[in-house]
Amino acid sequence: MFKKEKFTLLTFYKFVDVEDVEKEVQDHLDFCTDIGMTGRVYIGTEGISSTVTGNEWQIKAYKLYLDAHPLFNNPPDLDIKSTPVDGHKFPRMSVKHREEIVALGQKYTRKEIEEAGNRMSIEEFKEILDNGNIDDYIVLDMRNNHEYKLWHFKNAIPANTLTFKELEKEIENYKKTFGDKKIISYCTWGIRCEKSTVMLQKAGLKNTYQLDGWVVKYINTYNDWNWKGNLYVFDDRVSCEVWDENTHETIGICLYSDALTNNCENCRYSPCNARIIASKEEYKKHFGFCSEECYKNALRNGLVKNVDFDKVDYRKLRVKMKNHPETTPEVLDFIQKHLTSNIWNKNFRHKTSQKEDFIID
């Protein structure tokens, strides 16, 4: 009997000043592709952000590559934030040049990141949640709204900001509302908190701390009731259940029905592509559209994404229209009849697209 192959999802970031970004991108892509890993890596002048999956020898080889790299060596907490998975979780290996390794609208140097400091250990954070006077603290969730709605730490509040321009506008409000309380910010992988901590401290909020080791380190270390909901992840799992039946609590609310669910999907109208919380059953009932607007736009132009429960190959139909424009009326008529036959008796709660103006990935 063959031994079952073990896979790991490895994720890290490192703020470091990179001069020749294009060379680093190509070198990284060449190595990762050669050893057969899959994942998504961003490299820019401010550093690297990497999430990859591989089998045992691929992960070992990648770690050795990082160890020998003059810039990307020794990323913090690399092992404790790794996660066992049942196979590759990305369709391909992608390494791209990105001006910011997390797109928030402001770049910072390695020195600025390091000087901000103010890291709070997961042990101290747990003690505050378990036994501290939570009224002395603000637990600030720095992620997208759909991520907060799917899961968050208890007593956390959403920052309700998606770009640094929005964060800048909120700073004066934070000063008035939070007063002298300690602000503990967190996010999934830590990059947003690294950068937002710099901005908040530069604005005078010196009591701003970031959770050291990110959320992933906390949930890989503790199994407790301080976590509410499923972990939103940036691979094909999307929604990952955290902890066991004794400590897991579902908090996600279905877009269509208000029922509790841990399931996440994307709107099938391609220009929208909104990330929505929805039960699988309701998502199928509404044929994957988040709103009446997206459904009607799909009827008009046929920009629909393929899914398993709908056997029509929309991608193939769009290619047909592109290569043979004279077939466009016929193809759109077919799409309209197909969609209408599946949705004609469904009511959409939302009239307009549920896409957030800006998505951080």
Nearest of 276, 237, 282, 240 to residue 259 by alpha carbon: 282
| DSSP state for residue 27 in the 8-state scheme | H
Question: Coil, strand, or helix at residue 13?
Answer: strand
Catalytic residue of the set 32, 187, 254, 272: 187
CA-CA distance, 131 to 234, in Å (whole number)? 32
- 187 tagged catalytic: yes
| 170-197 as b/e: b if 16+ CB within 10 A | ebeebeeebeeebbbbbbbbbbbbbbbb
Whether the CB-CB separation of 154 and 225 falls below 8 Å is answered with: yes
Nearest of 189, 230, 224, 240 to residue 81 by alpha carbon: 189
For residue 295 the two structure tokens come to: 């459904």
Residue 261 CB contacts under 8 Å (≥ 6 apart), including other chains? 250, 252, 253, 254, 277, 278, 279
Residue 131 CB contacts under 8 Å (≥ 6 apart), including other chains? none
Residues marked active site are found at: 187
